[in-house]
A and B are shown apart, each in its own frame.
Chain A
């Protein structure tokens, strides 16, 4: 696990968690995928560098992804536009989602759960409060989290030149999949 990630999470921990000694789950494997289905062009990319941690006692969580790590664009030019023009990944290196779980269910037990999380989604340096629905499958101490949500570009101050309107949808569909297991202290 890259040290960079922990460095990033330290302030998040301080912000979100009162107690540091709670039972925490970290993402062993995390994938984030987005899709912009515009009339003229379909843009899709994926990153495997999704990090996450859940504090079961506080029912709080933090997710983060390095915006520069997205791969799988149609062309290098598309990637360049994504990084430099729209998301400005050099200025805003990460996108994060931190907050709390609304449901009181104990989903560390085996089973399937639908939960909702309420938190701040920070993309392009702009934080927005969001409620995001997730499907959870717990089996043998491993927690699989799957969720789909949309990001509105203008909510996050991502402006698209008029000419490119036809190429980038105003609403970006995001899919997240991560597997959590208990963090050894």
Chain B
């Protein structure tokens, strides 16, 4: 032990024990991908995604990659200002005075009628009336209202036209920092108003490089020479919380509400100004910031502080956690007291350090001679420090006068191993390995007065005498976390015990597998619930009635938890081997922190935690201290899910404007990201294609591919988490539709059906018509036959024939026989042929020849029939020629003076002409007009050429088409 003390003394003398306590900065290297891009500014948009402006263009940073957004023209890519307005339009201002809007994935030049500035754009802002303001370095400030651009410059009362910075106060007024001071601009009823703040108003330096609005309404001002000042807007005066600034020009500021102001300088690094304790510290730990020029500072929604500097490029750290490495081996207890003394208990004794003295203060050892193994620390209401030891009882001393009282088993202490100390209302409770002790912590305790001690053991009702932790709750009740038996409550001198066994009825449903055994740590949340940590079984929550269990399934990543503390925001801080997690009790949402702490294996000691007077929580680990600052900002606890791009058949599309695809474009790839800067690699995703997937698909990939999607309506949904539990993370979705192929669309099918229906209908119509025609033809034929027969058995014909016959019989009996033969042949042919549809020309010619013979015999020289068919082949409707010849005989005068000649000839090879000279009877024979009309109709029904009838003064001609 002596050797170790000597070692400690040696270290005390020569080693800087506490390296600067600071957040752990990580670098985001843009140089790998874009070696020439010098980043100068950053902007967090309304979706909490960070954009960087560089000399080579605009970049979006998703935590893993820098995504460039470049102008397509040749003007300067040097970005000087980025802003997203309330309508979510991203504005980008460039060195050459041009202004672009991001439309979809493309930058589009903004072209107001008034023209764009020629000088660099240094900032954008939007006032409550919706005017967009644009500051320039050289032309003052512009604002756009109702599509028109207006200007404020020195002519309007500005103190300078070179605007370094533009900010907005709580009233929406525009604050401009220039070489002449601060100008506050506003527009009321179309009138421009300028109010100036100069040295006369108390501004320490007229060159104003940075203005930052405090959420409380005040304005922080960074100057060229005189550091930082604050303008109290209500009192309308400057105040100077930070005095004796020696670090030159202030370039940029970032604020953690009521906690800390970060100051970036022109060449003197990065500084932190504590708003609670007034401390000013330069950031030195780990990174090369000492002589940095800091271009920009930003506090993001996750509680990270981002810097852009000439030495470290882009880097950021989570402001909630700071780590300082100490050269102690085991830190078993920590305490930050009301005088800002940091106390540390180790196996080698008790050490303290004055936090007010900054980074370089060193630890001093106390009570070296006592060889203490310090395992617990407590400060009572009188500012006295209680030191619990392993084996040496408890020490109480006053750091102001070093008065000391040691209390051991000899003084009535239950046990000399004091694992935990708590106190309230003039009492101090000790948790020991031999029961609990209650000591009345009177004001004169250190003056040797008799002690008031009361012990509680198993015999008094405690479930076991091994107690790890004592806690006074908000109702001033005392709770003990015991080894193996759950928790015990001491209230009004009575002890009651709670464990899952004792309350099996209420807990069996929630945690049937695990019972509450050894409780290592215990904290009360702001709703009065107790949270208990166990050796290997995770966390139990005790609401006064029953227990519920949190384990891996609920998102815990380590079941061996060493400490639980409730922070000022009501979150439960969970300390374990793998890191520090924050639990929101109401939602049970967990955030993991590990790499952000700045160390990989933290090896925390049991209950080595404390909360200082500012609400910061100090956690002692194996070789250092973690300081957790609950930030006053409302922090984002989920990654911001973004749908980065959509590709169809591997080609990226502008998915914000297209959502319908043809059936071929059914191979769709989604690229998404959950932006979680704190730890981008921890982000996990799950996605679902509504209309295709039934369940969510978990993945670590940032891509989802769907190929051969059938036509239909879909909705792609994706969400992300940084822990393993899925609770209420926001879902990003995009709906689209794959159109069915043309032959599956309703209108096409309908058209096809209509067409088929139409064809069918047309066919029916046609068939109907044809049937009707056949029927008509049949009818016509029958009528014709009837007419022909009628005409042939016409008594006149027979009478005439017989008359002719009578004359011939006597003169020439042989001729008479021939005549009768011809007559009977004629009748036979007629009877044979009349049933047929058509007959050959030859058959018809033979028939007409018979008929002609009969007529010739009757009329002698007065009638001539010349049939000349030249052997023409073809068909004809039966009796056609006969009817025509008969007509000619019937309607014309036949006499010696006026002989009738009928010529039957072939005309143009497809038609037979029947022509006679026209010499109509004076008294026309009664005619039914049936013969010719019927012929015409029959030819028409056959569908061939029509029968042509020509009538001149001298001739009558009928052309009968030959049927081919």
Binding site for B on A (CB under 8 A): 100, 102-103, 114, 116, 118, 129-133, 149-150
Contacts and interface: CB of A to CB of B under 8 A. Distances in A.
Contacts of B149: 131
Contacts of A132: 114
A131 B149 CA distance: 7
Contact of B114 (A100, A103, A133): A133
A116 B113 CA distance: 10
Contacts of A118: 151, 153, 155
Contacts of A150: 113
B802 interface: no
Interface string B122-142: 000000000000000001001
A121 B599 CA distance: 66
A149 B113 CA distance: 7
A150 B113 CA distance: 8
A171 to B, nearest CB: 10
B115 A133 contact: yes
B118 A103 contact: yes
Contacts of B797: none
Interface in B916-941: none
Contacts of B118: 103
A64 B825 CA distance: 122
Given A102-B139, A116-B114, A149-B113, A131 B151 contact: yes
18 contacts: A100-B155, A102-B139, A102-B151, A102-B153, A103-B118, A114-B115, A116-B114, A116-B115, A118-B153, A118-B155, A130-B114, A131-B114, A131-B115, A131-B149, A131-B150, A131-B151, A133-B114, A133-B115
A38 B139 CA distance: 36
A129 B142 CA distance: 12
A149 B112 CA distance: 11
Interface residue SS majority, chain A:
strand
A101 to B, nearest CB: 11
Q: Which 7 A-B pairs have the closest CB atoms?
A: A133-B115, A131-B114, A116-B115, A118-B151, A131-B149, A131-B151, A102-B139
A100 B149 CA distance: 16
A114 B96 CA distance: 14
Given A100-B155, A118-B153, A133 B113 contact: yes
Q: Interface centre among A100, A103, A149, by most B CB within 10 Å? A: A103
Interface of B: 113-115, 117-118, 139, 142, 148-151, 153, 155, 192
A150 B146 CA distance: 13
Nearest to B118: A103
Nearest to A133: B115
A15 to B, nearest CB: 13
Nearest to B142: A131
Contacts of A130: 114, 148
A97 B677 CA distance: 53
Contacts of B142: 131
B116 to A, nearest CB: 9
Contacts of A100: 155
Nearest to B139: A102
A88 B113 CA distance: 27
B96 to A, nearest CB: 13
A178 B328 CA distance: 84
A100 B155 CA distance: 9
A139 to B, nearest CB: 22
A130 B142 CA distance: 12
A100 B139 CA distance: 12
B468 to A, nearest CB: 74
Q: Interface centre among A102, A103, A129, by most B CB within 10 Å? A: A102
A173 B150 CA distance: 19
B685 to A, nearest CB: 49
Contacts of B113: 133, 149-150
Given A103-B118, A131-B115, A131-B142, 12 more contacts: A100-B155, A102-B117, A114-B115, A118-B153, A118-B155, A130-B114, A130-B148, A131-B151, A133-B113, A133-B115, A149-B113, A150-B113
Nearest to A131: B114
A118 B153 CA distance: 10
A118 B113 CA distance: 13
A139 B302 CA distance: 60
Contacts of A103: 118
Contacts of A114: 115
B150 A129 contact: yes
Contacts of B114: 116, 130-133
B120 to A, nearest CB: 14
A133 B115 CA distance: 6
Contacts of A131: 114-115, 142, 149-151
Contacts of B139: 102
Q: Interface centre among B115, B118, B153, B192, by most A CB within 10 Å? A: B115
A122 B142 CA distance: 21
B226 to A, nearest CB: 30
B448 to A, nearest CB: 84
A129 B190 CA distance: 10
A116 B142 CA distance: 13
Contacts of B192: 129
A23 B385 CA distance: 83
Nearest to A118: B151
A106 to B, nearest CB: 14
B148 to A, nearest CB: 8
A132 B151 CA distance: 11
Contacts of B151: 102, 118, 131
B557 to A, nearest CB: 59
B188 to A, nearest CB: 14
A9 B259 CA distance: 61
A14 B117 CA distance: 29
A29 to B, nearest CB: 24
A157 to B, nearest CB: 13
